[in-house]
Amino acid sequence: MRKEYLDTPKFEIIEAVLENSLYGFLGSIIVVFISNEIDMAVLIGYLVYYFYVGKVINRPKYVTSIGKFILFPVPTALGAFTGYKLAGLLASWIA
């Protein structure tokens, strides 16, 4: 995995981390908005999430170990947790 990391351009790593963090973030905010019954935020969250899912699904698949075990799950989980926390604050401002 170290060799894969060293061989991968840094821009690709940063781009993957940001994309996957945003993917996790968008997926988790919907749950918070649903639990708080903020319908307009749920609708907007779904729209943004599914537009973004189109981008995620149509990108090249991860075939390396670093992609499968680091670049997808770690940033996605961190983004989801951040979304969960920030969506709670957002929900309190909206409701």
Does any domain span residue 37? yes
Q: At 15, which amino acid appears?
A: E
- What is the number of other CB atoms lying within 10 angstroms of the CB of residue 41? 20
Q: How far apart are CA 5 and CA 2, in angstroms?
A: 5
pLDDT average, residue stretch 51-55: 87
Does any domain span residue 74? yes
pLDDT the model gives residue 7: 87
Domain extent, residue 41, equals: 19-94
In percent, the amount of the chain with pLDDT more than 70 equals 100
| Count of domains forming the chain | 1
Does any domain span residue 59? yes
Does any domain span residue 5? no
